[in-house]
Amino acid sequence: MSHPTSDAAEQAFYEAFRTGNLEAMRETWAAHDSIYCIHPRGDPLLGREAVMESWRDILDRGAVDIHAEPVSSSVGANLAVHLVSEQLLDPEGRIVGLVLATNVYELTDGGWRMLMHHASPAPPPSGPRGQSLH
């Protein structure tokens, strides 16, 4: 599947996540080793092998209902940056995770593909501004 826009690539990424489709997830990502992925509270995973191994582990645990709400995006000539607010829901529809994700997409010969995904826990709604480490 060749995605004509970074929005289409993003839709495919979250659809693969939601449906637990590893093959679709593989196709969402750029086919080279400059990709990276940071799962919430995780170490950086660099390159195809490490990134895809993590997704196999995650998707093996079963489909996760995930809602992704766009917050901001900037589209360049061949890279696009999206900020997304993710809600993860359990089978009863309860929120089990709130995540902020920066997704970068790359325009490749095969359309727009994911280049990197940096996800981190969102602060609780009434929490601090989170500047303690900076």
Q: Interface with a copy of itself includes 99 (CB under 8 A)?
A: yes
The minimum distance between CB 78 and a copy of itself, in angstroms, equals 5
Alpha carbons 18 and 52: distance in angstroms, whole number: 16
According to CB under 8 A, which residues from 39 to 68 bind a copy of itself?
39-44, 46, 54, 57-58, 64
By the rule CB under 8 A, 97 interacts with a copy of itself = yes
Q: Please report, as a single letter, which amino acid is at residue 46.
A: L
Instruction: Please say whether the beta carbons of 119 and 100 come within 8 A.
Output: yes
Total length of the chain: 134
Minimum CB separation of residue 2 from a copy of itself in Å reads 18
| Nearer CB in complex with a copy of itself: 4/76 | 76
CA distances from 84 to 53, 67, 69, 111, 133 (A): 23, 10, 5, 21, 22
Residues that bind a copy of itself (CB under 8 A): 34, 36, 38-44, 46, 54, 57-58, 64, 71-72, 74, 76-81, 83, 85, 88, 96-97, 99-100, 102, 104, 106, 115-116, 118-123, 127-134
